[in-house]
Each structure stands twice: as C-alpha cells, then as structure tokens.
Structure 1
Amino acid sequence: MTATQSPPRLIDDGELAGHSVVANNTMNRERVLTGVNSYARELGFDPAEFLDGCGPAPSWLDLCSGEGLALRAAAQRLPQAVITGVDLVGPLRTPALPDGLELVAADLGRWAPVRRYDLITCVHGLHYIGDRLALLERAASWLTDTGRLVAHFDPTTLRRPDGTDASRPVLAALRAAGFDYSARHHRLSLRGGRSIELPFTYLGADPDAGPNYTGQSAVASYYRQAV
C-alpha cells in the first residue's frame, strides 16, 4: 500500500465468516492423505506415520479440514487414534465416519477442544482466518507437552493499522514464543504445548486483499502492536 492510499474498510470476524472469499473457499476440500494433492506433500510428512509414533492412542486435530478426506484415510490406518477435523462449512458429503473420527462444523474463532492433541495441522486454512494470531495462541495451548503444530502461514498478509507490512514484528514475536517459520515452504511450526500471548491487538480483516502466494484470494489481517 502506498502513502497515498487509504487502508480498506475492515470487517469483524462475524462478517468475515459469510464473505464469499471465505465461504466459497474450496482449497482444502479434495486434499487426501498421501500422493500428489495431499497433506503429506503440503506438510512435508505423512500425518499418519507421525501419529503412529505417538503411542497407543495418538490424537490429531486438523483445522479448516474441508471434506476431511485425509482424516478418513488416517482413521482407517490408525483405528486407535482420536482424530478431529474442524471446518467453518464442514463436510458436504455425509458417509459414515470411521471409528475415532469426528468432523465438526464450527467457527474456529469460537470453538475449543475438550482435550489436547499430539498433532495439530492447518493446511492453507489460516489464509481465510481473520484473527489468525489469536488462533495460533489458542492452538499452542491445545498441544500435548510433546505435540507438534504445523500450519501454512503467509506473513505478507499481516498489516499494521496504516496498511503497511507487519510481517517482521509478527514473525519476531512468533519466534520469541517458540515457533519456527520456513519461508521456503510457508510453514509455521511449534513443538510442545504452551501458553502464548502475542503483543498484538486485532483490528479487523480485509477479505478483498487479493491473491497471496497460493495464487488464490486470501484475507489480510490488521493488527496494532503493543508499545
């Protein structure tokens, strides 16, 4: 944004949930567990293999899970696992779920689990969340002590109140809180559950910010940094 441009009108997350950029997002609907269009490819590891090394009753929480195809496949491979998928729209198909799998239609700004998880993933879902920093704070507390969180993250869609780029201070705060960020893969990761409070106040979202690195329209999130 140039000095002559004014920041866009920001909307709150209640209005954002009904916006076409979010409500019509299909990025994660058909993604499967392994193969070409898969979680394994996007995350850099097979979630089922990771869970298989997490003890006799592993647990996986997938945020923005779409149809939950990858979760179904993992539940079939690991019938002892507890697997939860949460999506704003939820699955559009309704076949019977494998044992241990729950698919929830809910607003992630209001939803919270009743347990902690060994693995938490969000494959390209944060691009459509308004207050994504608050979700990351909360998700960090949903991990087990040895759990792993991996989420795609685009810092260029984080803005200051005047619309300028806030990626550097946000990434610095995330790293100080224990997160790692791979710019090459656009992946944010965290090992071990913890309480986190990032020094930013959410101001609102711009759903008309245009495409991000994926080539699809994404949401820009505006924050004020604490002094």
Structure 2
Amino acid sequence: MTAPHLLPAHELERTAVVANNSMNRERGLAGVNSYARELGLDPVAHLTAAADRSSAPPSWLDLCSGEGRALREACSRLPAGSVLTGVDLVGPLVPAPAPAGPELLVASVAEWSPPRTYDLITCVHGLHYVGDQLGLLARAASWLAPDGLLIGHLDPLSLRLADGAPAGRAAVAALRAAGFRYDARRHLVSLRGPRTVRLPFRYVGADPAAGPNYTGQPAVASHYAVAPVAGAGAPQ
C-alpha cells in the first residue's frame, strides 16, 4: 500500500476541498435542507428545554456554520440573552443584516477554543473537511455545559492509519469507550455532558485527495498513528 501525501492543518485549509464556499452555506433550521433533518433534532426545541431546566439563557455553538442561517433563524425563537456562536473557516460571504444576531466568527476550528461552555454543540457535515476529526471531537467534549449535547456527522471510512489502512472501526470503538454514541445509519456521533476525552490515536496529517465520501462530495481523510493513553472518557 502506498502511503498518501499528508498535509498539516495550515496547508490543508488552503486546499480547494476545505476552503470552499458551498459547505453548509444556506442550511436553515427546518425543512428539506435543514439542521432538523440532518441531525434528527430540533435545535430550538432542545435549547428551549435546556432553558427550562436552568436559570441561565440557552447557548448554542455551531462549528463549520457557513452563513450562520440556522443560528440567525433561531435568534427570534429563543429567550433574550441566548448565546449563539458560529465558527467557520470561510465565514459569511455577506455582512449580517441588522439587528445584530449570533456571533459569527471566521476562524479555524482546528485552533479555535471558546471562552465558555454550551448547551448544544453542532457540526453538520463539517468534520468531513477537518484534518484532525478525532481531536476536534475530544476538544469539543470539554466545551459542553453540564447537560449539554454535542452532535455532528462522522464518516468512519475517512479515519485511517498513517499508511492508509482503515482505522474507522477502532476509532468508533474508542469513541464509544469514551462515552460517545455513534449512529451508523445516519453517520451521527453524539455525546451528552462534558468530559475529558483522550483517544488512543495521534494525528499525523490529512489527505485532501481522498475523494468523495458517503455524501457524494469530495472530503478529507484523517490519518493517525496508534498511541494508547490512560484515563479516557472521565466525566468532568
């Protein structure tokens, strides 16, 4: 097997596969092309329930948020003071209309970290374009509020060893051991509640020439070396 040419994060994010203008640009809250359809979850209903359980306004972090349309639509349906944050490598292509809505940040999710925790963290088809997919999931696990939910799409076929051999089955097993759930039919990975996650993999680079994934769109393959660790999945 010929090992693929792997790129570090700063080079990967300059490739056409990753730095594109079409990923998640116009997806709204409900309907055919929506978060509710893709996640099997109504974000507003989830956040409203979170607000009912707490005295604090609800909070939502959307990773790889595109234009932030879903976050904007949620603004008028959530209590005053709700915290809505979107992070995207490209960001909105046009300025947000007044009045001010969610905080939409242009940043790399590989490097960005929030100053707070969130009741809901979503990543709708965004992991397909992230180099260290497992690393982002592990980091995001610590960004959850006490009863928070992390949910997003994951394609195990895009997780490989340094030489290109499949790593998806072992990676999913490690995620489950750390407390995550994985729905293979819908390609959804999820986690309830914050925790410290250490997975037995060391990221070595990504291949932007991996080709289409289950969505039919070109995606990134993330490559790892096996690196056993102790103390994975400890709740915070």
Instruction: Name the TM-score class by shorter chain.
Output: over 0.9
Answer with 72-81 or 86-95: which moved more: 72-81
Which position in structure 2 is the counterpart of 1:102? 103
Post-superposition offset of 1:63: 0.2
Partner SS, residue 172 of structure 1? helix
Give yes or no for the alignment of 1:6 onto 2:2: yes
Post-superposition offset of 1:88: 0.3
Post-superposition offset of 1:96: 3.0
Give yes or no for the alignment of 1:168 onto 2:164: no
Give yes or no for the alignment of 1:68 onto 2:68: yes
Partner SS, residue 96 of structure 2? coil
Which position in structure 1 is the counterpart of 2:146? 145
- Cα RMSD, aligned residues only: 1.2
Which position in structure 1 is the counterpart of 2:137? 136
Deviations 1:94-131 (A, max 9, x none): 12365561000001111110100000000000000001
Indicate how the Cα distance of structure 1 residues 219 and 155 shifts in structure 2: closer, same or farther if over 3 A, else same.
same
Which position in structure 1 is the counterpart of 2:32? 36
Letter in 2 for 1:7: A
Of residues 6, 12, 17 in structure 2, which corresponds to 1:16? 12
Letter in 2 for 1:16: L
Deviations 1:28-82 (A, max 9, x none): 0010110010000001011011101111500000000000000000011114211
Partner SS, residue 210 of structure 1? coil
Supply the distance in 1 between the matched residues of 2:23 and 2:214 (Cα, whole angstroms): 13
Partner SS, residue 20 of structure 1? coil
Q: How many pairs does the alignment contain?
A: 223
Post-superposition offset of 1:26: 1.1
5+ residue gaps, structure 2: 229-236
Indicate how the Cα distance of structure 1 residues 52 and 99 shifts in structure 2: closer, same or farther if over 3 A, else same.
farther
Post-superposition offset of 1:151: 0.7
Q: Say if 2:144 and 2:150, in contact at 8 Å, map to a contact too.
A: yes
State the TM-score, normalized to the length of structure 2. Answer: 0.92
Letter in 1 for 2:87: V
State the TM-score, normalized to the length of structure 1. Answer: 0.95
Post-superposition offset of 1:189: 0.4
Partner SS, residue 149 of structure 1? strand
Q: Percent identity over the alignment?
A: 61
Greater than 4 Å deviation, 4+ residue runs: 97-100
Q: Say if 2:123 and 2:151, in contact at 8 Å, map to a contact too.
A: yes
Letter in 1 for 2:61: L
Partner SS, residue 95 of structure 1? coil
Which position in structure 2 is the counterpart of 1:113? 114
Letter in 2 for 1:96: P
Letter in 2 for 1:10: L
Indicate how the Cα distance of structure 1 residues 25 and 168 shifts in structure 2: closer, same or farther if over 3 A, else same.
farther
Which position in structure 2 is the counterpart of 1:203? 204
